[in-house]
Chain A
Amino acid sequence: MIVLLLFLMPLLGGLASFFIKEDRTVRSWALLASFITLAFAIVGSMPSTNASSLEFSTPWMGTLNSNFALRLDGMGKILCLLTAIAYPIILISTWKTTYRKPNNFFGLMLLTQAGLMGVFTSMDALVFYFFWELALIPVYFLCSGWGGEKRIQVTFKFFIYTFTGSVLMLIALLYLYFLTPDKSFSIESFYRLAEIKGWNQTLPFWLLFGAFAVKMPIFPFHTWQPDTYEQSPTAVTMVLSGLMVKMGVYGIIRWVLPVVSTAAYSWGDVVSTMAVIGIIYASILAIQQNDLKRLIAYSSIAHVGIMALAIFSETHLALQGVMMQMFNHGINIIGLWIVVELIERQFGTRKLSELGGIAAKAPALTILLVVMALANISLPLTNAFVGEFMMFAGIFGSTLTKYNVVFTVLALLSIILAAVYTLTMIQKVFFGPANERTVNAKDINLGEKLALSILVIMVFAFGVYPQPLLNITDGYAQSIITNSTKVLSQTFTK
């Protein structure tokens, strides 16, 4: 039942929001709804929660043999938890930002959350596809309705990209459906498919991978991303980069690796090469950016590239690292966006060249940003270090590829590059001489301090003691690896 509530709460909350015209009321309502969802998510991820309450299944489209099946398992738990934690933080940190037609804005925000929750819990391919799109449509309206100057074209590009990806995914799901022995869309039947051979693997692999690669995004499918992040309202950028990016990573782990394992193995090196190119390329571009939002956007491409690389190394350690990193990257990047939002609201600009010398006037803001930035370059003791370390160890130890050392070294370069662009950013924004824009800088108020310090606490807490998260994901990572390597060993011993 809990898993159903996780999806119903934001859905109903969102639908109700459309009818609350008053600005403050609808804000409070959205915040309340997101807190209730958070409560459900916490209860759902407790180890003591009864497993039967985390499952829900009802016949849906009888003739198509598709059930409305939701289940909260290891990876689902950690991502639902991330989604549920992110929403209140996003809403609190953008509390001061005014929107026209706030009822529609918050309604669409909550509908997006409902879609995300559905994506992370659905156990039926058709339901998964439904939620995949349900998460996309409200975001399209949010970006086009409330974004920056060039929002219409930019959002449209984003929409066409992802829509093309997702309809190709639909074809792949249909194709696999006809290959299942019992003609069913359920994930169990799909997992039994791993034995199919040759073209039957390759074709759906690329169709599925295309959809997820656009969403993540992996080089060369990333061109929509910096523009979209730049033009969207910051609250939506947080959802896009903190949560929706994870949909792609999640999709590969759940719907590609165990389903078309042989193809994932055969094409692993190709994908890894794409990921490595993306990592280096995005890091170098990030160094040259002058706009804060674009800088973080490119840094996000680099981080996601490492996750993709780690997934295709197919080791238990790396996979668990990816799940850790999905959670931690979500926390960190939302923290960075909050700082960007604060800076932009106060100084009216995001250009690095127009900022400087804020540190003296706003020490609290500086400290919080520096912590977030250091977490972004995954310094030890911060949360990102745990995930990245596990991923690199896993990539290095991978037995499936001959190039594991090359990939590891090249990917590690991105850490150095990350230090370059992050520290440059800190320097240009906070230190140096103050100009006429920043000379009257004010420090952040209590509410903003509160929202950011929750994040900072999480950064350190999960950096020092990541065990709870590891416990949640351990079993699931193992089952994915067992599932996909079992087939591989069968294929290659024959």
Chain B
Amino acid sequence: MNALIFSAISGVLMMFSGFALKSGKAIRTLAHLLLLATIVATAMELRGIPFFSIKTTGMLQFDHFALLFTLIAAVSTLVFFLLSSKDMEKVGVSYAEYFALIFFVLSGVVIASAFQSLLLLFLGIEIISIPLYILTGSDKRSLKSNEASLKYFLMGAFSTGLMLMGIALIYGATGTFSTALIQASKSGVPVLLSTGMLLLLFSLSFKVSAAPFHFWTPDVYDGAPTVFTSFMATVVKAAGFIAFMRLFSDAFRDIGSEWKLTVAIIVAATLFIGNITAVFQQSVKRMLAYSSIAQAGFMMLAVYSLTAEAKEGLLLYGAAYSLATIGIFAVLIKMKDYTFEGFNGFAKQQPLVAATLVIFLLSLAGIPLTAGFLSKFLMLKATVAAGNMWLAVFAVLMAAVSVYYYFRLLQAMYFKEGRAQAIEVTPAFKVTLIGVAALTIILGVYPNLLLYWLYF
């Protein structure tokens, strides 16, 4: 609850700060402070100190899972701010509003991770989506950005329609919006319920860009200003999965036979399309868009298996994936040439930045000693525990394919000769990158350090 109220108020404050604060620096500082306050508030609630006690009549449930993810999302956003908030200024004139929209997205993330009612799920997903449509089109002079925004909006609206339809059908079948009560139906599964569930499955698959509902992703990620792509592809996507996980583990766990096969097919298709298409990309930005689809396939394994470890793993996955991708995007934003060739010889230009990028790439590829490995490992473990060996084998084969495109960037930076464009990096930027890289390794080598501290 702390995080929800803090982030919503921060959004409103940021919106009006544009009138009072004229310099970009002041706006930026205010946003950082507000986000920091949100993080502190979340951490305090996690430790058992809620500031507000509001009766939500069972619509929201701020359990450990929700709070932990809120914390991860907020910290990832902070990392994003620290690395890329300066570059947001170059997008357009409404600097303060961009921050405001991100704070609104964050409050949507809080709702989507804590909902216990289908209505709140809808609300959360919409609060996340609408600011994103605006952010995608925020580069008003660019035709590509406009196109992406329109495309995203039309497709998003369509999937929202599907979701509402699904919710209505489920309400018709069970007479309740509460996810905790849906599973109470005993005698067989009504057709209305399973249809509604499938519609929800499809619309959520759209939001997390799982195949075959992924077609918007590359265009939107490519068209949107790169700073916002970074945010969309990480925090928002992870939040979509948390909502997904919550919905299916609370409401549809008992009727697994109705959806397990469908989800397994979606997982396999997502992994296949994401990885194979990423191999053929020439632009790092598009590669990252497809890689986000591929990683979505892996995260979806948690939805497939629904074990307690998968839940924990999904949190870790969200953190590992978000941190690594934000880090890579932060460097990419500063480059002019987005192709792989643009990175040729980058390691000579910026040895330190290149070294941290290596850690992020290794983490995304799932190499041991990084957080990415451990999260992939937990997903695979859950899948094997759920008894689907073939899906696990297919997933690791696809992970081996992913090595190809992640290592291409690595090869370009280290082993190919070339004159990469010189980028300006401040010491603070470097320190943040190193911090994030260190976190990636710590989470990978000794996750208990963090996990136990959080669970105390």
Contact of A133 among B368, B393, B414 (CB under 8 A): B368
A134/B369 contact (C-beta < 8 A), A159-B407, A178-B385 known: yes
Q: Are A130 and B368 in contact (CB under 8 A)?
A: yes
**Complex CA distance for A61 and B368, rounded to whole angstroms:** 14
Q: Are B381 and A63 in contact (CB under 8 A)?
A: no
Q: Are A167 and B384 in contact (CB under 8 A)?
A: no
- Cβ-based interface call for B309 (8 A): yes
Q: Are A145 and B414 in contact (CB under 8 A)?
A: yes
Q: Are B384 and A170 in contact (CB under 8 A)?
A: no
A160/B448 contact (C-beta < 8 A), A152-B415, A168-B396, A174-B381 known: no
CB distance from B356 to the nearest CB of A (A): 15
Q: Are B397 and A152 in contact (CB under 8 A)?
A: no
Q: Are B384 and A171 in contact (CB under 8 A)?
A: yes
CB distance from B413 to the nearest CB of A (A): 11
Q: What does the 1/0 interface line of A149-181 toward B look like (CB < 8 Å)?
A: 001100010011001100110110011011000
Q: Are A170 and B415 in contact (CB under 8 A)?
A: no
CB distance from A150 to the nearest CB of B (A): 12
A167/B400 contact (C-beta < 8 A), A134-B368, A175-B389 known: yes
- Cβ-based interface call for A221 (8 A): no
A167/B396 contact (C-beta < 8 A), A63-B309, A178-B385 known: yes
What is the chain B residue whose CB lies nearest that of A147? Answer: B415
Interface residues in A62-115 (C-beta closer than 8 Å to B): 62-64
- Cβ-based interface call for A360 (8 A): no
Interface residues in B338-389 (C-beta closer than 8 Å to A): 362, 366-369, 377, 380-381, 384-385, 389
Chain A residues with CB under 8 Å of B389's CB are 171, 175, 203
**Complex CA distance for A359 and B191, rounded to whole angstroms:** 88
For chain B, what secondary structure do more than half of its interface residues adopt (helix, strand, loop), or is it mixed? helix
Chain B residues with CB under 8 Å of A171's CB are 380, 384, 389, 392-393, 396
**Complex CA distance for A301 and B389, rounded to whole angstroms:** 32
Which of B312, B362, B415 is the most central at the interface, judged by chain A CB atoms within 10 Å of its CB?
A: B415
Q: Are A174 and B384 in contact (CB under 8 A)?
A: yes
- Cβ-based interface call for A129 (8 A): yes
- Cβ-based interface call for B416 (8 A): yes
What is the chain A residue whose CB lies nearest that of B366? Answer: A167
Q: Are A61 and B380 in contact (CB under 8 A)?
A: no
Which of A129, A137, A170, A203 is the most central at the interface, judged by chain B CB atoms within 10 Å of its CB?
A: A170
**Complex CA distance for A156 and B415, rounded to whole angstroms:** 12
- Cβ-based interface call for B434 (8 A): no
Chain A residues with CB under 8 Å of B399's CB are 167
What is the chain A residue whose CB lies nearest that of B411? Answer: A152
**Complex CA distance for A134 and B451, rounded to whole angstroms:** 24
Q: What does the 1/0 interface line of A354-371 toward B look like (CB < 8 Å)?
A: 000000000000000000
Chain B residues with CB under 8 Å of A63's CB are 309, 312, 448, 451
**Complex CA distance for A167 and B366, rounded to whole angstroms:** 10
Chain B residues with CB under 8 Å of A160's CB are 400, 403-404
- Cβ-based interface call for B447 (8 A): yes
What is the chain B residue whose CB lies nearest that of A140? Answer: B407
**Complex CA distance for A137 and B446, rounded to whole angstroms:** 19
Q: Are A156 and B396 in contact (CB under 8 A)?
A: no
CB distance from A95 to the nearest CB of B (A): 25
Q: Are B392 and A174 in contact (CB under 8 A)?
A: yes
Contact of A159 among B384, B385, B403, B451 (CB under 8 A): B403
CB distance from A396 to the nearest CB of B (A): 38
Q: Are B448 and A144 in contact (CB under 8 A)?
A: no
Interface residues in B386-429 (C-beta closer than 8 Å to A): 389, 392-393, 396-397, 399-400, 403-404, 407, 411, 414-416
Chain A residues with CB under 8 Å of B403's CB are 159-160, 163
**Complex CA distance for A81 and B452, rounded to whole angstroms:** 39
Chain A residues with CB under 8 Å of B446's CB are 60
Chain A residues with CB under 8 Å of B415's CB are 144-145, 151-152
**Complex CA distance for A175 and B377, rounded to whole angstroms:** 12
What is the chain A residue whose CB lies nearest that of B404? Answer: A160
- Number of A-B residue pairs having CB atoms within 8 Å of each other in the complex: 69
**Complex CA distance for A194 and B428, rounded to whole angstroms:** 56
Q: Are A133 and B416 in contact (CB under 8 A)?
A: no
Chain A residues with CB under 8 Å of B393's CB are 168, 171, 207
Chain A residues with CB under 8 Å of B366's CB are 167
Q: Are A137 and B396 in contact (CB under 8 A)?
A: no
Chain B residues with CB under 8 Å of A64's CB are 381
A178/B400 contact (C-beta < 8 A), A133-B367, A152-B411, A156-B407 known: no
**Complex CA distance for A141 and B396, rounded to whole angstroms:** 22
CB distance from B435 to the nearest CB of A (A): 19
Q: Are B416 and A129 in contact (CB under 8 A)?
A: no
CB distance from B131 to the nearest CB of A (A): 36
Chain A residues with CB under 8 Å of B312's CB are 63
What is the chain A residue whose CB lies nearest that of B378? Answer: A64
Chain B residues with CB under 8 Å of A137's CB are 362, 367
Chain B residues with CB under 8 Å of A203's CB are 389
Q: Are B411 and A164 in contact (CB under 8 A)?
A: no
**Complex CA distance for A62 and B392, rounded to whole angstroms:** 23
CB distance from A332 to the nearest CB of B (A): 32
Q: Are B416 and A152 in contact (CB under 8 A)?
A: yes
Q: Are A163 and B411 in contact (CB under 8 A)?
A: no
Chain B residues with CB under 8 Å of A152's CB are 411, 415-416
**Complex CA distance for A144 and B446, rounded to whole angstroms:** 29
Chain B residues with CB under 8 Å of A134's CB are 368-369
Q: Are A164 and B397 in contact (CB under 8 A)?
A: yes
Chain A residues with CB under 8 Å of B309's CB are 63
**Complex CA distance for A167 and B411, rounded to whole angstroms:** 22
Q: Are B369 and A130 in contact (CB under 8 A)?
A: yes
**Complex CA distance for A141 and B400, rounded to whole angstroms:** 17
Contact of A61 among B362, B384, B392, B447 (CB under 8 A): B447
Chain A residues with CB under 8 Å of B367's CB are 133, 137
Chain A residues with CB under 8 Å of B448's CB are 61-63
CB distance from B299 to the nearest CB of A (A): 17
Which of A145, A151, A163, A167 is the most central at the interface, judged by chain B CB atoms within 10 Å of its CB?
A: A167
Chain B residues with CB under 8 Å of A177's CB are 381
What is the chain A residue whose CB lies nearest that of B392? Answer: A171
What is the chain B residue whose CB lies nearest that of A129? Answer: B368
Q: Are A144 and B368 in contact (CB under 8 A)?
A: no
Which of B396, B416, B448 is the most central at the interface, judged by chain A CB atoms within 10 Å of its CB?
A: B396
A144/B392 contact (C-beta < 8 A), A62-B448, A152-B416, A174-B384 known: no
What is the chain B residue whose CB lies nearest that of A174? Answer: B384
Chain B residues with CB under 8 Å of A144's CB are 411, 414-415
**Complex CA distance for A170 and B312, rounded to whole angstroms:** 20
What is the chain A residue whose CB lies nearest that of B384? Answer: A174
CB distance from A208 to the nearest CB of B (A): 13
**Complex CA distance for A5 and B179, rounded to whole angstroms:** 54
Chain B residues with CB under 8 Å of A129's CB are 368
**Complex CA distance for A137 and B312, rounded to whole angstroms:** 28
CB distance from A128 to the nearest CB of B (A): 11
CB distance from B295 to the nearest CB of A (A): 16
CB distance from A215 to the nearest CB of B (A): 15
**Complex CA distance for A170 and B448, rounded to whole angstroms:** 21
**Complex CA distance for A207 and B384, rounded to whole angstroms:** 14
**Complex CA distance for A130 and B377, rounded to whole angstroms:** 12
**Complex CA distance for A160 and B365, rounded to whole angstroms:** 12
Please give the residue numbers on chain B whose beta carbons come within 8 Å of chain A beta carbons, in ascending order: 309, 312, 362, 366-369, 377, 380-381, 384-385, 389, 392-393, 396-397, 399-400, 403-404, 407, 411, 414-416, 446-448, 451
Pick 7 A–B contacts, CB within 8 A, sort by A: A63-B312, A63-B448, A63-B451, A156-B404, A167-B366, A167-B396, A171-B389
Please give the residue numbers on chain A whose beta carbons come within 8 Å of chain B beta carbons, in ascending order: 60-64, 129-130, 133-134, 137, 141, 144-145, 151-152, 156, 159-160, 163-164, 167-168, 170-171, 174-175, 177-178, 203, 207
Beyond known contacts A60-B446, A61-B447, A134-B369: 20 more, CB 8 A cutoff:
A61-B448, A64-B381, A133-B369, A134-B368, A137-B362, A137-B367, A145-B414, A160-B400, A160-B403, A163-B400, A164-B400, A168-B393, A170-B377, A170-B396, A171-B389, A171-B392, A174-B380, A174-B381, A175-B389, A177-B381
List 3 A-B pairs, minimum CB-CB distance, nearest first: A167-B396, A164-B400, A133-B368
